[in-house]
A and B are shown apart, each in its own frame.
Chain A
């Protein structure tokens, strides 16, 4: 071996060793970093109290959750939901430069369905939580009708305002703000929903802050033979992962002169039992402009429809799909970017369902396509009923068939709107959504035959053979 070959070999060994040292050092550093990740560090940089309203302050202790919470400003469409940013020219009355697509323009039948009610003036696809307050303040509905202060129960972070208005008494503040007109009540609030609305500041546990839910779930449990139910002490941790959402994503009405926000659950959570409740208390939301029927408007009954579906039955909560766990380093956090699971199929569905994203999306959309078709059948039928009653009223509004037909319209409309207003296009409980739309179509049919002199009774939805 010559001296130069020997030198070359030594040089090569030295160079390779240097590379190996670098690579091993890099690997060691990486392993060290992964170890650090796994230590779940939590830095308490601010002291949180029940009075801490500003979510940015909570965000100092919980940056991952806060970052995701801020993402609810995103506007992404799904086939039947989500929201699409529609650019508009800001005006003095409405400074928004982006709104969501108008559902009334997408489906003009809805204008007829709600004729004479504020929803016929402006109804848009819901945007994310971040927009709940501004979209409520600037909706066209505010311009055509004086909206009640009770709207803010769910369009603002209202836990602290309730306590302030009630001087420490949550229920007193609730009652006080309910009685106010919208603008006066709005002066009490400043944020969309915030950390303090769902979390206890010291334990971070989920908690209930809306009196209407406390009363509604108590009435529901009483109807199931459970007296004096207090959701604040008796709900399980898993139940709370749906109950906190059920404080707002529900059907409701403003009861009596004091406009008390009330969930119509005293007879149960199905569309039928809620309609029976409204019939029992003689409530109407408005008188239908074209037919004179005592009409009802259903509002986003997600909690109720979900409760009749297989996911609820299997113990799957709202948060499991809409706020699924995600990994940040080694931390497991629930995704506070509340959104459609269709935009997050991997985490939302595939944790349980071992099928491809495309397959799961197809399954959901098949359910939604079917519901949508049935909904269209129900709405078309209702349009025919509205025209028939309108014609009959013009001829003789006191004819016996007209009163009956108006009653059937109220039912048909409530059922169709129940599925229409619910934000899953039937997915939360496919069979139940189909059953409700079937009831709607049946009621429309009975309304039409009533005008032809054939009086019928409400359908018998018996328990079925045992």
Chain B
């Protein structure tokens, strides 16, 4: 066999192995579940178990899933947020180095604030004409901290 042919075989085998192992890992890690809105997908990793358990007991369980509050209500925004958080969560969970109890990032807080206000627009408009521009001054969960998932 010529050297080039040998290299071709090696490259093909390795490429196939990467593809096969990648496909297996994707399936084993329930990769497909992340493309759905199923809240149990968010608790695939045990780090989110308390939040998931809290949501199961919460008032919003009947009306909102994780994605309804934690991703923007536009198709593009939702995809970008899922990709960003998916990447960061995977990286942190794999390599460690995050504080426990886990806390929401400022960017994600802005998302939840906007989604609260999106569904509850009628109520919020009446009490906060300023809108979501200054969420730190008038944040929904400052008072309604338990609505999503009470983990205390």
Is A351 within 8 A of B22, CB to CB?
Answer: no
Is B25 within 8 A of A28, CB to CB?
Answer: yes
Interface of A is mostly: helix
- At the interface with chain B, which of A5-13, A77-85, A123-131, A416-424? A5-13
The answer for the CA separation of A309 and B74 in the assembled complex, in Å, is: 47
Is A10 within 8 A of B14, CB to CB?
Answer: no
A28-B28, A31-B28, A37-B46 known; A21 vs B100 contact (CB < 8 Å): no
Is A7 within 8 A of B21, CB to CB?
Answer: no
Interface of B is mostly: helix
The answer for the CA separation of A332 and B101 in the assembled complex, in Å, is: 11
Q: Check: A45 CB closer than 8 A to any chain B CB.
A: no
A34-B46, A351-B101 known; A7 vs B14 contact (CB < 8 Å): no
Q: Check: B84 CB closer than 8 A to any chain A CB.
A: no
Q: Check: B99 CB closer than 8 A to any chain A CB.
A: yes
- At the interface with chain A, which of B3-11, B32-40, B58-66, B127-135? B3-11
Task: Give residues 5-28 of A contacting B (CB, 8 Å).
Answer: 6-7, 10-11, 13-14, 17-18, 20-21, 24-25, 27-28
Is A14 within 8 A of B152, CB to CB?
Answer: no
Is B15 within 8 A of A27, CB to CB?
Answer: no
Is A3 within 8 A of B46, CB to CB?
Answer: no
What is the number of contacts between chain A and chain B, taking CB atoms within 8 Å?
74
The answer for the CA separation of A17 and B7 in the assembled complex, in Å, is: 12
Bin the interface of chain B by size: 20 to 34
Is B46 within 8 A of A25, CB to CB?
Answer: no
The answer for the CA separation of A280 and B7 in the assembled complex, in Å, is: 98
The answer for the CA separation of A20 and B11 in the assembled complex, in Å, is: 12
The interface residues of chain B lying within 8 Å CB-to-CB of A31 are: 25, 28-29
Q: Check: A327 CB closer than 8 A to any chain B CB.
A: yes
A13-B11, A24-B21, A38-B46 known; A326 vs B100 contact (CB < 8 Å): yes
Bin the interface of chain A by size: 20 to 34
Task: Give residues 91-149 of A contacting B (CB, 8 Å).
Answer: none
What are 18 A-B residue pairs whose CB atoms fall within 8 Å in the complex? A7-B4, A10-B7, A10-B11, A11-B7, A13-B15, A17-B15, A20-B14, A24-B18, A24-B21, A27-B25, A28-B24, A28-B25, A34-B45, A34-B93, A330-B49, A346-B101, A347-B101, A351-B152
